Structure 1
Amino acid sequence: MTAELHSRRSALVSGAAAAVALTACGSGGGSGQAPPKAGGKVLALAEVPVGQAKSAKTPDGQEVLVAQPEQGTVVCFSAVCTHQGCTVDPPRNGQASCPCHGSVFDALTGEVKKGPASQPLSKVAVKIENGDVVTA
């Protein structure tokens, strides 16, 4: 192999590796999905009873769990299981279960209650605006 051909091949491989690294860094919240656009309505706060959570979608279609752990406080988590990326079922009795491998998450905190998942659900930034839960 000539030196010119070798260095051209090295440049192509290096460029491809850089493109992969940039793509991985630009994905957003670490769940493989871009963060939702700020200010979009997810649902009305009144739809989420105090001490409970509800499944919803952000305006850009991301599946999320919205919880109101105490009156006037709202938290939101990606509904994508951190084990292998399945969407968790709607919350029941304060828990969200993954239908694929049985992981169970606390729907009010996103924390793992039962594996095989070892990482909590990813947080999604939201706020309350005019009685609605909106992306922040």
Structure 2
Amino acid sequence: MTLPPARRTTRRTVLLATGGAAAALTAACGKYGDSGSSSSDRSSNAGAGQELAKTADIPVGGGRIFADRKVVVTQPAKGDFKAFSAICTHLGCTVGSVADGIIHCPCHGSEFRITDGSVAGGPAPRPLPAEKITVERGSISLA
């Protein structure tokens, strides 16, 4: 008597066997630190139009983190101001410092470029999302 070949259990067979339960659990789970709002929603609801800083407060080649507003403002070149979410795309920590053209996350070492928020190193999977700012008469505000 011959026995049928042993069936190998794979992720696919487990997912198929559990039916919609796995899909429902996956849909219900968000990533750590994700409140369900986009960075543009956060900007529009977090005091848009209120002054963040004076342009003189942001060093050329560096930046400043506004943790309470969840935004980092940088000045890659004189008079060129950029803003990004201060929430690391790795696990949702708030970035901790800006130095030597890099925004640093203290949690796991992710690094982002001050010019465009792109990943310069570490485990972060995506760049920091850009935030809209206005620069008028020496004042920087969230748009």
TM-score (norm 1): 0.69
Q: Aligned partner of 1:34: which letter?
A: R
**Identity of matched residues, %:** 38
Give the distance between the partners of 1:98 and 1:68, measured in 2 at CA. Answer: 18
Give the distance between the partners of 1:92 and 1:103, measured in 2 at CA. Answer: 13
Give the distance between the partners of 2:125 and 2:72, measured in 1 at CA. Answer: 18
Give the distance between the partners of 1:109 and 1:81, measured in 2 at CA. Answer: 14
After superposition, give the CA deviation of every residue in 1:35-85 in whole Å (9 maximum; x if it has no partner).
23321101000111223222225xxx3232111122222110111100110
Q: Which residue of 65, 71, 94 corresponds with 1:64?
A: 71
The alpha carbon displacement at 1:102 in A equals: 1.4
Q: CA RMSD in A?
A: 2.2
- Contact between 1:46 and 1:131, CA under 8 Å: does it hold in 2? yes
Alignment of 1:1-136 (within 5 A): 24=36, 27-29=37-39, 34-35=42-43, 36-57=46-67, 61-136=68-143
SS in structure 1 opposite 2:97? Answer: coil
The alpha carbon displacement at 1:127 in A equals: 1.1
Q: Aligned partner of 2:132: which letter?
A: A
After superposition, give the CA deviation of every residue in 1:95-128 in whole Å (9 maximum; x if it has no partner).
1222211111112321101131120011110011
Give the distance between the partners of 1:86 and 1:99, measured in 2 at CA. Answer: 8
Q: Aligned partner of 1:105: which letter?
A: F
- Structure possessing the higher radius of gyration over alpha carbons: 2
SS in structure 2 opposite 1:120? Answer: coil
Q: Which runs of 4+ in 1 moved over 3 A?
A: none
Q: What is the aligned length?
A: 108
Counterpart of 2:30 in structure 1 is none
Give the distance between the partners of 2:59 and 2:103, measured in 1 at CA. Answer: 16
SS in structure 1 opposite 2:56? Answer: helix
Runs of 5+ consecutive residues of structure 1 not aligned to the other structure: 1-16, 18-22
Q: Aligned partner of 2:133: which letter?
A: V
